[in-house]
A and B are shown apart, each in its own frame.
Chain A
Amino acid sequence: MKDDKTTQNGTNRRKFLKMGLLSGATTVAGASLLANLTSEEELKASGEKIRVLTPDGKMVEVDAESINNYPEAHITPEESRKGIPGRKFVMVIDLSKCKNARTCVESCQKAHHLDYNEEYMKILLLQDHEEADPYWFPKPCYHCDEPPCVTVCPTGATFKRDDGIVLIDNERCIGCKFCVTSCPYSVRQFHWSHKPKFDNTDLPYSPETSVPGEVGTVMKCDFCPDMIRQGKLPHCVSSCPMGVIYFGDKNEDMVTNGEETVRFSELINDRGGYRYLEHLGTKPNVYYLPPVDRQFPLERGFDVDEEIIERYKDVPYVQDMKEKGKI
């Protein structure tokens, strides 16, 4: 029965999807929701009826004015456990276009009130084998379908939602750090001490925004469900000048990097998409496109702070370059 409903809603959504995609480059495929409309100035006083997609996937007709009265919906920790119905979020990262510009890192830090030294998104410099050239490798949380971090959590503070997103409820986390040791991708980080920014209670805490932080709890990339609910793309996706990161809905088979919207299945199959460390069986929801036909030379990535370069000092390639005096 539930499935029937989803298919029905699915057709509606698909219609809406076209509208959404036409209306703005930053709109996630089909993720146009109530809150989105609050920002549209001209609708404010119009009084006309408009059709919107509610967070639970229903198409409804509402008065445009009444929409304005909705503040950006605050999703409580309890609500955040459910997920956005009928969705299955995926990310595709095109390694051939990444040049360690770090705008994704920085915009994410800004949005999640992170310090300069805390990154949900990390950029690694990987080299697959001796013959291969190294490449830049952005690493968010993979929002695994078989997430070890969720299995081991003794309190259910970290959880997997129906829409595929893995979140942390830092009001429930007891700081045992078992999830940190069990994530094979070293994604999770920890609030080791209290910081003044945690006291900022302007925004009530929601696992969907991961703000404000809380001492003694874990944190990680959250796929920005708050943005998705507003019909926007996660910060890393929209900020990347190269359009490296695609985000979308697997059920819709659509992903977008803000500039182009493509079929997820085609992208993966045509470009040899893969998941990192597939053999571990964690079933990530983040796919990579291999670093072939690079658009930028690798060295462009060293156009960053000295302190950042230092973070790659153990990579043989970097040691080589340093010896040659190239960086």
Chain B
Amino acid sequence: MDVTIRKKELVKEFSPMLLKPSKWSKIWMAILVAFILYGLVALVVQLTKGQVVTGMRDNVVWGIYTINFIFFLCLSYSGAFASGVLHFFNTPWKNAVSRIVEIITVVSLIVGPIFIILCMARLDRLHYLFIYPRIQSPITWDVIAITTDLIGCLLYLYLTFIPDFAILRDNSEGLPKWRKKLYTSLAIGYQDTPTQRRRLHKITKIMSAMVIALAIVTYSVLAWIFSLTLQPGWNSTIFAPYFIVAGLYSGIGVVIIAMYLIRKYFKLDHYIRKAHFLSAGVILLITALLYGYFTFSEYFARWFSHKTHDANLLETLFNDYFWMFILANYIGILVPIAIVFFKKLRTIKTITFAAVIAVVGLWFNRYLIVVPTQETPYLPIQDTRPEFVHYSATWVEWALSFAGVAAFVLFFMLLMRLVPIIPMSGIIDYEKKGKVRRDGLTQQQQP
């Protein structure tokens, strides 16, 4: 196989995706931008009037911003985990999904922290975190962990982009000038020589192990923000592993959804195949079982030992949040399990459906962790304004949440305009390897 020719072919194949946005993708982007603008309006309202425009009040001081924060970090963490594993073990079918996973990792790691910043009431004093840092505070740990993680993930993402930047640079006939320049500078002189190749491979491999470690640390610290407090419902020893498993679950879900959409809208059926969905479905099944197991242990222990305060919390969950509880912890776990468990039910569509349920269920599961606990503190909520007792998010919070999701999708789409969503270098590697193996086989067979 002539590598140079193949490179050209690939660039040709993918450049429409990079250069000519279809009508649909333009419409989509317009919609996303509209959502983001609406979110910005909400942001201005919140900044000028204060957090009084949110549904948060004295008893429930953390609302859906915090939930979104956990949720997006959860995606990032699981993305890092999955991509680290794919790279580290050089999984054979990794190529089609690895870039999707990496982009999810980075983009959600950018969007997530925005939400926790929205939850802070004094944005003008954000730098106090650095001028008056207190290392004892889990928030400080979080700041350190997230920034390190972000830097690590960006580096890692960039490393995986380099070979493709080089290919694009070398085959850039017909590309606009600015793109050519951009790719030239981004490829930092990568020529795909054996030494460069070996080095890059080595660094990427080291980084892939690092991002797994970083992600686990970051997400554990995040879980500790809750579990290190004394509150009933939060003060749980299994929270860190529970969060990690939950993160994997929702992360795989989002990867499946992204695979589905990309395959559908960019007609990449021959790269993203049913096999990928099936493997992802099996991972979804495994994580669903684990996650269900953790959820069950968490609530079962509380229910069985029924300490007064735990019992109060469960009562709130089963009375005020009955349907949400069913949706999050029964439907959100059992339905995906049922779908992926039976071989006959496993199609691309059903697996994607299971993934959607998993992701939605997990968001509500986070809601049930964050909000009801604050509504059921040790001392009963009395002698306070009645409207301060229960939390319900306002339009400002919803607008900003949807803006966050929109920003996530938009970033994703923009990155897809920069590099092909299927790594071209990976395709070439894969084909080379296939050839070598075939050659090897023939050699063995010939005495």
Which residues of A pack against B, CB within 8 Å?
117, 119, 122-126, 139, 148, 151-157, 172-178, 180-182, 184-186, 188-194, 215-217, 276-277, 280, 282, 308, 310-315
A193 touches B59 (CB 8 A): no
A151-B137, A154-B143, A177-B119 known; A215+B50 contact, CB < 8 A: yes
B residues less than 8 Å from A122 (CB atoms): 382-384
A191 and B138 CA atoms in complex are apart in Å by: 23
B275 is an interface residue with CB less than 8 A from chain A: no
* Interface, chain B (partner A; CB < 8 A): 49-52, 56-59, 61-62, 119-122, 125-126, 128-129, 132-134, 136-140, 143, 225, 228-231, 374, 377-386
Q: Flag if B137 contacts A178 (CB, 8 Å).
A: yes
Find out whether the CB atom of B129 lies under 8 angstroms from the CB atom of A182: no
Residues on B with beta carbons closer than 8 Å to the beta carbon of A174 = 120-122, 125-126, 128-129
Contact of A189 among B58, B62, B121, B128 (CB under 8 A): B58
Q: How far is the CA of A224 from the CA of B4 in the complex (A)?
A: 79
**CA A186 to CA B128, docked complex, whole Å:** 25
The answer for the CA separation of A19 and B8 in the assembled complex, in Å, is: 97
How many angstroms between the C-alpha atoms of A280 and B57 in the bound complex? 25
A312–B229 alpha-carbon span in the complex (Å): 27
Determine if B139 and A311 form an interchain contact, defined as CB atoms under 8 angstroms apart. Answer: no
B52 to chain A, nearest CB (A): 4
Query: Are B132 and A182 within 8 A (Cβ)?
Result: no
* Structural contact, B139 and A178, CB atoms closer than 8 A: yes
Please, which residues of chain A bring their CB within 8 A of the CB of B137?
A: 151-154, 178
- CB closest chain-B residue, reference A281: B230
The answer to whether A192 and B51 have CB atoms under 8 Å apart is yes
A-B contact pairs, 13 of them (CB 8 A): A124-B380, A126-B380, A153-B137, A155-B132, A172-B132, A177-B119, A180-B61, A182-B230, A182-B231, A184-B229, A193-B51, A311-B383, A311-B385
Is A182 within 8 A of B229, CB to CB?
Answer: yes
A311 proximity list for chain B (CB < 8 A)? 382-386
Looking at chain B's contact residues, the main secondary structure is: loop
Contact indicator A193/B50 (Cβ below 8 Å):
yes
Q: Which A residues touch B384, using CB under 8 A? A: 119, 122, 311
Task: Tell me if B133 and A186 are in contact (CB < 8 A).
Answer: no
Q: Please tell me which one of the listed residues B121, B381, B383, B386 contacts residue A215 in the complex, with CB atoms under 8 A apart.
A: B121
- Among the interface residues A152, A180, A181, A314, which one has the most CB atoms of the partner chain B within 10 A? A181
Contact of A151 among B49, B132, B136, B231 (CB under 8 A): B136
Residue of A at shortest CB range from B49? A193
Residue of B nearest to A125 (CB): B382
Cβ contacts under 8 Å, B381 to chain A:
186, 314
- Report whether B379 and A154 are in contact in the complex, using a CB–CB cutoff of 8 Å: no
A215 CA / B52 CA spacing, docked (Å): 10
Please report the C-alpha to C-alpha distance between residue A20 and residue B386 in the assembled complex, in whole angstroms.
44
Q: Which residues of chain B have C-beta atoms less than 8 A from A215's C-beta?
A: 50, 121
Q: Which residues of A contact B385 (CB under 8 A)?
A: 117, 311
A312 neighbours in B (Cβ, 8 Å): 382-383
Total A-B contacts with CB atoms under 8 angstroms apart: 143
Q: With both chains docked as a complex, state the minimum distance between the C-beta of B56 and any C-beta of chain A, in angstroms.
A: 8
Q: Which of B133, B230, B380 contacts A280 (CB 8 A)?
A: B230
CB distance from A166 to the nearest CB of B (A): 15
Q: A residues within 8 A CB of B50?
A: 191-194, 215-216
Q: A186 to chain B: which residues have CB within 8 Å? A: 59, 377-379, 381
On whether the beta carbons of B61 and A190 are closer than 8 Å, the reply is yes
CA distance A277 to B132 in the complex (A): 32
What's the Cα separation between A64 and B56 when bound, in Å?
52
Instruction: State which of B49, B121, B378, B382 has its C-beta within 8 Å of the C-beta of A277.
Output: B378
Cross-chain contact A217 with B230 (CB below 8 angstroms):
no
Taking the nearest CB of chain A, how far is it from the CB of B224, in angstroms?
10
Using A152-B138, A185-B379, A192-B57 as known contacts, say yes or no to A178 and B225 having CB atoms under 8 A apart.
yes
Interchain CA distance A155-B129 in the complex, whole Å: 6
Chain B, residue nearest A215 (CB): B50
Please give the distance in Å from A312's CB to the nearest CB on chain B.
6
Q: In the bound complex, what is the Cα–Cα distance between A189 and B381 (angstroms)?
A: 13
Given the complex of chains A and B, what is the CA–CA distance between A310 and B52 in angstroms? 23
Min C-beta distance of B437 to chain A, whole Å = 54
For A125, what are the chain B residues with a Cβ–Cβ distance below 8 Å?
382
Instruction: Assess whether A310 is in contact with B386, with CB atoms less than 8 Å apart.
Output: yes
Contact B230 A154 (CB under 8 A): no
Determine the chain A residues whose CB is within 8 A of the CB of B380 once the complex forms: 124, 126, 314-315
- Please judge, given known A-B contacts A148-B230, A174-B122, whether A155 and B58 are in contact too, CB under 8 Å: no
Verify A124–B374 contact, CB threshold 8 A. no
Shortest Cβ distance from A117 into B: residue: B385
> B49: which A residues are within 8 A, CB to CB?
193
Partner of B230, one of A153, A157, A184, A194: A184
Known: A154-B143, A181-B229, A186-B378. A123 touches B122 (CB 8 A): no
B139-A154 in contact (CB<8A): yes
Q: Are the CB atoms of B121 and A190 closer together than 8 Å?
A: yes
CA distance A276 to B377 in the complex (A): 14
Known: A154-B133, A216-B51. A176 touches B139 (CB 8 A): yes
Please give, as numbers and ranges, the residues of chain A lying within 8 Å of B230 by CB-CB distance.
148, 182, 184, 280, 282
- Known contacts A152-B229, A172-B128, A311-B383, A185 near B378 by CB under 8 Å: yes
Q: Please give, as numbers and ranges, the residues of chain A lying within 8 Å of B225 by CB-CB distance.
A: 178
List the A residue with the shortest CB-CB distance to B373.
A181
Q: Is B383 a contact of A192 with CB atoms below 8 Å?
A: no
10 cross-chain pairs, A with B, having the tightest CB-CB distances, nearest first: A175-B121, A216-B121, A193-B52, A154-B139, A192-B52, A177-B61, A193-B50, A154-B137, A122-B383, A175-B122
Find chain A residues with CB under 8 A from B383 CB: 119, 122-124, 308, 311-312
Q: Known: A119-B383, A184-B378, A192-B57. Contact between A153 and B134, CB under 8 A?
A: yes
A191 cross-chain contacts in B, Cβ below 8 A: 50
A-chain residues with CB within 8 Å of residue B138 when the two chains form the complex = 152, 178
* Shortest distance between the CB of A197 and any CB in chain B (Å): 14
Q: With A172-B128, A192-B50 in contact, is A181–B62 under 8 Å at CB?
A: yes
Q: Is the CB of B378 within 8 A of A314?
A: no
Given contacts A175-B120, A193-B49, contact A315 B382 (CB under 8 A): yes
Interface contact B133-A181, CB-CB below 8 Å: no
In addition to A152-B228, A280-B378, 7 A-B residue pairs with Cβ atoms within 8 Å of each other are: A154-B137, A172-B128, A175-B122, A176-B120, A193-B50, A312-B382, A315-B380
Rounded to whole angstroms, the CA-CA distance of A186 and B179 in the bound complex is: 56
- Residue of A whose beta carbon sits closest to that of B232: A184
